[in-house]
């Protein structure tokens, strides 16, 4: 069953009276139980798609459905991990998580319990009282993930969650993400992640949607039927990665013609 369905979504920004087409005729679905990755070059409009799904943006044309109904704004069943963490500097780790629960009117006792549970889950116990400025990049993104999970969404949106991190930390967090996803501990139904890192997409996703450069159109999609945990040096892995690469390249060739 499709949780999200986008039908012929178009979006144009207007800046200094110049029209800038960002999304062109985007149609895609996010199915229940899948880990979907959208890859595309920088500035193509990946974040814009997530902003539409999470209800931040509304000035698109076309249809966005959630479980067959028009996507409510805001949609309380989705939550988001930000590229640059977006932690509130004057709140501690625990408070940063509690505030989104408070916004959803979770009672105080339960807020604390839930916050601590997810802090534990991402391995940040004993850092509850630290301020974001006192954390490393990897730890900040763990808070971002814990916060997004704490509202127990059906769909988790992730906007290049690992691209602001160093390679080792990113690899580490990616593996933990797989573990979490596989463990079944989460009430999560689907994950939609946006990235420009194709290896990352093949490592994580069940299915990859490839976008062209701006204005974003869908070039094609690739299924990744590999068992998890995956190995970058695996032959099947490399084949799929090559496939994704060639798709991205072909998109670029078509553009330049």
Ligand X SMILES: Nc1ncnc2c1ncn2[C@@H]1O[C@H](COP(=O)(O)OP(=O)(O)OP(=O)(O)O)[C@@H](O)[C@H]1O
What angle (nearest 5°) sits at the alpha carbon of residue 175, between those of residues 222 and 153? 75
Q: Which does 243 bind (CB under 5 to 8 A by kind): Mg ion, ligand X, another protein, none?
A: none
Determine if 56 is a binding residue for another protein (CB under 8 A). Answer: yes
Nearest approach in angstroms of CB 98 to Mg ion is 27
Question: 99 vs 164, which CB is nearer to Mg ion?
Answer: 164
Binding mask 26-55 for Mg ion (x = CB under 5 A): ---------------------x--------
**Interaxial angle between packed helices 137-150 and 108-121, expressed in degrees from 0 to 180 and rounded to the nearest 10:** 130
Q: Which does 118 bind (CB under 5 to 8 A by kind): ligand X, Mg ion, another protein, none?
A: none
Q: Which does 22 bind (CB under 5 to 8 A by kind): Mg ion, another protein, ligand X, none?
A: ligand X
Determine if 8 is a binding residue for another protein (CB under 8 A). Answer: no
Q: Which does 56 bind (CB under 5 to 8 A by kind): Mg ion, ligand X, another protein, none?
A: another protein
Question: 111 vs 174, which CB is nearer to ligand X?
Answer: 174
Q: How many residues bind another protein (CB under 8 A)?
A: 24
Q: Which does 89 bind (CB under 5 to 8 A by kind): another protein, Mg ion, ligand X, none?
A: another protein
Nearest approach in angstroms of CB 188 to ligand X is 23
Question: 21 vs 110, which CB is nearer to ligand X?
Answer: 21
Determine if 43 is a binding residue for ligand X (CB under 6 A). Answer: yes
Q: What's the chain's length in residues?
A: 257
The candidate with the shortest Cα–Cα distance to 88, out of 80, 96, 79, is 96
Determine if 45 is a binding residue for ligand X (CB under 6 A). Answer: yes
**Among all residues, whose Cβ is closest to ligand X?**
47
The residues that touch ligand X, with contacts defined as CB under 6 A, are 13, 15, 20, 22, 40, 42-48, 196, 214
């Amino acid at each position: 069953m499709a949780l999200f369905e986008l039908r012929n979504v178009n979006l144009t920004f207007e800046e200094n009276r110049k029209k800038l087409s960002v999304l062109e005729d985007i149609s895609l679905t996010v199915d229940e139980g899948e880990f979907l990755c959208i890859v595309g070059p920088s500035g193509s409009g990946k974040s814009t798609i997530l902003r539409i799904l999470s209800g931040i943006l509304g000035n698109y044309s076309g249809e966005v459905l959630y479980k067959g109904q028009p996507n409510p704004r805001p949609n309380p069943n989705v939550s988001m991990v930000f590229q640059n963490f977006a932690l509130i500097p004057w709140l501690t780790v625990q408070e940063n998580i509690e505030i989104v629960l408070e916004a959803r009117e979770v009672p105080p006792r339960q807020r604390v319990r839930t916050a601590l549970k997810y802090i534990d889950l991402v391995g940040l116990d004993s850092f509850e009282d630290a301020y974001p400025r006192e954390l490393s990049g990897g730890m900040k993104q763990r808070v971002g993930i814990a916060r997004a999970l704490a509202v127990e969404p059906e769909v988790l949106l992730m906007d290049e969650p690992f691209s602001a991190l160093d390679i080792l930390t990113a690899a580490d967090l990616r593996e933990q993400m797989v573990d979490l996803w596989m463990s079944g501990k989460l009430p999560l139904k689907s994950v939609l992640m946006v990235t420009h890192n194709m290896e990352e997409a093949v490592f994580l996703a069940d299915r990859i949607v490839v976008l062209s450069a701006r204005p974003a159109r869908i070039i094609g999609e690739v299924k990744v039927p590999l068992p998890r945990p995956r190995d970058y040096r695996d032959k099947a892995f490399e084949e799929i990665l090559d496939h994704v690469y060639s798709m991205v390249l072909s998109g670029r060739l078509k553009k330049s013609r």
